[in-house]
Amino acid sequence: MPSPTPSNRPIRLLLHGAGGRMGRSVLSLLPGVPALHAVATVSRNANDDTSGPPSFTSEQLELVPEFDVAIDFSLAPAFTPVLALCVARGAALVSGTTGLSSTDRDAIEQASRRIPLLWASNFSLGVAVLQMLASRAAVVLSDWDCEIVETHHGRKRDAPSGTALTLGEAVAEARQQPFAWDDRLQESEARSAGSIGIASLRGGDVVGDHVVTLFGPGERLELGHRADDRRIFAMGAMKAAQWLAFRAPGAYRMQEMVAAES
Ligand SMILES: NC(=O)c1ccc[n+]([C@@H]2O[C@H](COP(=O)([O-])OP(=O)(O)OC[C@H]3O[C@@H](n4cnc5c(N)ncnc54)[C@H](OP(=O)(O)O)[C@@H]3O)[C@@H](O)[C@H]2O)c1
């Protein structure tokens, strides 16, 4: 259920990271979502295409017109400026940018006292459910070893993926243990009991695969998700933008949106 708009006008959207794979995907789907109206797009470099919404470079960020909600699919160094802009304008922020630092996480926490904010490492419905299933399985099979393998296209810059980290965090949280992970491709020692291992593969044009495996004595449980089309993330983020705009300040989660809509 979308949050109530102050009038019947469409929600004014700022698209940050518009020139990238995800940004282009959002732009291609926007005509099918009349509740959202893009008032501006922002990329690092200038965009010569004049057929879409007015475009701005990252240096011109503060010049963008008023907006109700920003969708951000950029890179980690670009996150701080768009977060600051949303706080300054009192606008909501939906961000899927991964590779964020602990300082960025703290900044999200601070900003969520002033604006509605939803950061998710993955905007797919299937991954939201995978996270719920992994949490549940981690509790029932509390002493089984947990390993996560993720695969993405070769142009992805951060590893492990934000989704693999979110899944690991969900398992740790469910088991009431602090979250720490071991890089299975770097380690040369035997695994320590209770550790959560993550391995990253990169190649081809894989949109995103995640498999959480729980290893017990004589058996194993595999929970997996494969994304075949990045439009699922774009649609999820646009849904989140409609759901989040005009809500009370706070840090919201995909699971809350999924639960509210199901
Ligand atoms: N949460 C999810 O569901 C989900 C799904 C897929 C991807 N992601 C994440 O979303 C992000 C974008 O992915 P992608 O595949 O679209 O990456 P990409 O193709 O490399 O695009 C990155 C975009 O960010 C822009 N950018 C870089 N620095 C900037 C700055 N300082 N200010 C403003 N814009 C800046 C780039 O501008 P130029 O075009 O001018 O270079 C480009 O438009 C990544 O962090 C990725 O991991 C999240």
Q: Give the mean pLDDT of the chain.
A: 94
Quick check: is 156 catalytic? yes
What confidence tier does 47 reach under pLDDT thresholds 50, 70, 90? confident
Give the closest residue (by CA) to ligand 1 atom 31: 78
User: Which one is catalytic: 152, 210, 225, 239?
Assistant: 152
Four-CA torsion 194, 196, 197, 201, nearest 10 degrees: 160
CA-closest candidate to residue 131, choices 168, 76, 102: 168
Q: Would the pLDDT of 6 be above 90?
A: no
Strands (E), the chain: 11-16, 36-43, 55-57, 69-72, 92-95, 116-119, 145-152, 181-183, 196-202, 208-216, 219-227, 250-252
| Whether residue 121 has its Cβ less than 6 Å from ligand 1 | yes
| Whether residue 96 has its Cβ less than 6 Å from ligand 1 | yes
- Average pLDDT of the residues in 169-180: 96
Provide the percentage of residues in the chain whose pLDDT is more than 90: 87
Quick check: is 152 catalytic? yes
| pLDDT attached to residue 4 | 56
Phi, psi dihedrals of residue 216, rounded to the nearest 5°: -115, 180
Q: Over the stretch 213-234, which tens digit does the pLDDT of each residue have? A: 999 999 999 999 999 999 999 9
Q: Over the stretch 116-162, which tens digit does the pLDDT of each residue have? A: 999 999 999 999 999 999 999 999 999 999 999 999 999 999 999 99
| pLDDT attached to residue 262 | 75
What confidence tier does 68 reach under pLDDT thresholds 50, 70, 90? very high
Q: Would the pLDDT of 259 be above 80?
A: yes
| Whether residue 166 has its Cβ less than 6 Å from ligand 1 | no
**Does residue 24 sit in helix, strand or coil?**
helix
| pLDDT attached to residue 258 | 85
Q: Tell which atom from ligand 1 comes closest to the C-alpha of 22.
A: 16
| pLDDT attached to residue 73 | 98
- Average pLDDT of the residues in 8-27: 95
User: Which one is catalytic: 16, 37, 153, 156?
Assistant: 156
| pLDDT attached to residue 235 | 96
